[in-house]
């Protein structure tokens, strides 16, 4: 009974795949269908976030667009079904981490020639980290649309009381501050080593100078990655960070006495803190990540792509170009707080608050996770390995040797 939902999903996916495998290739982009409305898949609340923009597009070009809003939690399932049945949207929003998977399943149109021809889509106009998310095996399968990067959130008043007038700038400062803050009392910590974020360890490894992959070979047991994880483990061993997710709301972890006065997260936390933490604007701030050898953060966000089996690619590309304009990205930012990927858009007056500008600076030092189709699985496996380190004090070097071998097998498969 409980499992039926999954079983029927799997069933529908596979049957759909078989039945439609044959008909998919019939699609062609003839212009006779140009009056047919385009379908745009959007993860999130499309009515609130993109409808006004889409209306403008219809007004300008006469092309009608149907927006289909799908919650992020179901988006991957939905894309899988589209990929296997070869029928789906014309234009779609796609998470930066999903590109490799769906490009490898041949579900996204190769946009390389479009990108080369159109000045407005030129890679140099975007943050290099954002641009990298759209690339798989040397070809462009999407254009960057909005950017997310991780920064350090901290409580200015709590840090000041502990003698820190500004956010830690280096790994050493971060550790010292965290340790000192954790001495404030029982159940008090300094920093959150995030055990449920699959990119966390990789991000610190990079900051320590590690290269995650070299010529298709994973490098997870390199001395730089191991010492980065040892550095993180030190926070947990010495009580500077909780061992696992405390399941606190932001008001409980960051508000009032702030049991966790420093943590690393993305721009989505801004509005949660403003609305839920009960803090004055001056009590907290964001800062660029503390430096190890560098302070590379994780680039994320969303890209726009055209579905490989769209019957209306000409119009689909028109919509994609329209949404990629600077003005559109700014409108989108105002509607949904999603930050623009176009560097030029950041000169706009709406993005000048000092907190937002911290993200702007961090975006220059942000890289996505490697574009490998099994990266999601590697990330999940990393979380398991990290749990063993954090909860059971497993040996880091040994764990990473094993994890490296396991990951390489996944990539070679």
Which residues of the chain form contacts with another protein (CB under 8 A)? 1-3, 6-12, 14-15, 17-18, 21, 76-77, 80, 83-84, 86, 101-102, 104-107, 187, 244-248, 252, 308, 373-374, 376-377, 380, 383-384, 387-388, 391-392, 413
Which of residues 248 and 356 has its CB atom nearest to another protein in the complex?
A: 248
* Token pair belonging to 48: 């609130």
Nearer to another protein, 48 or 246 (CB): 246
Q: Which is nearer to another protein, 155 or 373 (CB)?
A: 373
Nearer to another protein, 348 or 402 (CB): 402
Q: Which of 234, 343, 296, 303 minimizes the C-alpha distance to 79?
A: 303
Q: Residue 396 CB, nearest distance to another protein (Å)? A: 16
Long-range pairs of 200-205 with CB within 8 A, sequence gap ≥ 24:
200/232, 200/264, 200/386, 201/225, 201/228, 201/229, 201/232, 201/382, 201/386, 202/298, 202/369, 202/379, 202/382, 203/150, 203/296, 203/297, 203/298, 204/228, 204/229, 204/231, 204/232, 204/292, 205/229
> In whole angstroms, what is the distance from residue 219 CA to residue 405 CA?
10
> Closest distance between another protein and the C-beta of residue 126, in Å?
26
Q: Output the six-digit token pair for 58.
A: 């219809």
Contacts of residue 274, Cβ cutoff 8 Å, sequence gap at least 6: 281
Whichever of 25 and 124 has its CB closer to another protein, that residue is: 25
Q: Cβ closer to another protein: 126 or 309?
A: 309
In the complex, the smallest distance separating the C-beta of residue 15 from another protein, rounded to whole angstroms, is 5
Rounded to the nearest whole angstrom, what is the least distance from the CB of residue 149 to another protein in the complex? 24
Please give the structure tokens belonging to residue 14.
């596979």
Nearer to another protein, 59 or 186 (CB): 186
Least distance to another protein, CB of residue 83, Å: 5
Judged by beta carbon, residue 51 or residue 78, the one nearer another protein is 78
Residues 6+ away with beta carbon under 8 Å from 99: 108, 133, 134, 135, 136, 141, 142, 303, 305, 371
How far apart CA 39 and CA 27 sit, in angstroms, is 15
Measured from the CB atom, is 211 or 380 closer to another protein?
Answer: 380
Long-range pairs of 102-108 with CB within 8 A, sequence gap ≥ 24: 102/141, 102/305, 103/136, 103/137, 103/139, 103/141, 104/136, 104/373, 106/308, 107/79, 107/82, 107/83, 107/307, 107/308, 107/309, 108/141, 108/142, 108/305, 108/306, 108/307, 108/308
Residue with tokens 């190769």: 110
């Amino acid at each position: 009974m409980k499992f039926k939902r999954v079983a029927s999903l799997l069933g529908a996916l596979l049957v759909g795949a078989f039945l439609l495998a044959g008909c998919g290739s019939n699609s062609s982009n003839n212009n006779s269908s140009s009056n047919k409305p385009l379908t745009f898949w959007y993860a999130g609340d499309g009515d609130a976030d993109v409808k006004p923009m889409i209306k403008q597009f219809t007004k300008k070009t006469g092309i009608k667009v149907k927006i289909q809003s799908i919650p992020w939690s179901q988006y991957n399932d939905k894309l899988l079904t589209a990929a296997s049945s070869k029928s789906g949207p014309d234009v779609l929003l796609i998470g930066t981490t999903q590109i490799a998977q769906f490009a490898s399943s041949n579900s996204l149109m190769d946009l390389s020639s479009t990108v080369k021809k159109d000045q407005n889509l030129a890679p140099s106009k975007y943050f290099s980290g954002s641009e990298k998310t759209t690339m798989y095996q040397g070809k462009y399968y999407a254009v960057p649309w909005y950017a997310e990067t991780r920064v350090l959130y901290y409580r200015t008043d709590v840090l000041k009381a502990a003698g820190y007038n500004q956010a830690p700038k280096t790994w050493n400062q971060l550790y010292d501050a965290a340790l000192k803050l954790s001495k404030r009392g029982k159940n008090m910590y300094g920093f959150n080593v995030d055990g449920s974020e699959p990119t966390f360890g990789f991000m610190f490894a990079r900051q320590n100078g590690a290269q995650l992959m070299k010529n298709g070979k994973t490098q997870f047991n390199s001395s730089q990655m191991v010492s980065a994880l040892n550095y993180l483990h030190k926070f947990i061993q010495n009580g500077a960070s909780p061992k696992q997710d405390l399941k606190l709301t932001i008001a409980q972890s960051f508000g009032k006495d702030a049991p966790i006065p420093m943590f690393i997260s993305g721009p989505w936390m801004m509005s949660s803190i403003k609305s839920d933490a009960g803090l004055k604007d001056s009590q907290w701030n964001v800062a660029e990540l503390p430096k190890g050898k560098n302070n590379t953060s994780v680039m994320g966000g969303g890209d726009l792509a055209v579905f490989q089996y769209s019957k209306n690619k000409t119009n689909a590309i028109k919509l994609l170009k329209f949404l990629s304009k600077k003005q559109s990205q700014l409108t989108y930012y105002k509607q949904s707080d999603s930050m623009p990927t176009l560097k030029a858009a950041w000169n706009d007056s709406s993005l000048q608050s000092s907190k937002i500008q911290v993200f702007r600076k961090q975006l220059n030092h942000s890289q996505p996770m490697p574009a490998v189709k099994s990266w999601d699985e590697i990330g999940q496996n990393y979380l398991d390995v990290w749990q063993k380190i954090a909860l059971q004090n497993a040996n880091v070097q040994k764990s990473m040797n094993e994890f490296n071998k396991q990951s390489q097998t996944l990539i070679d498969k």
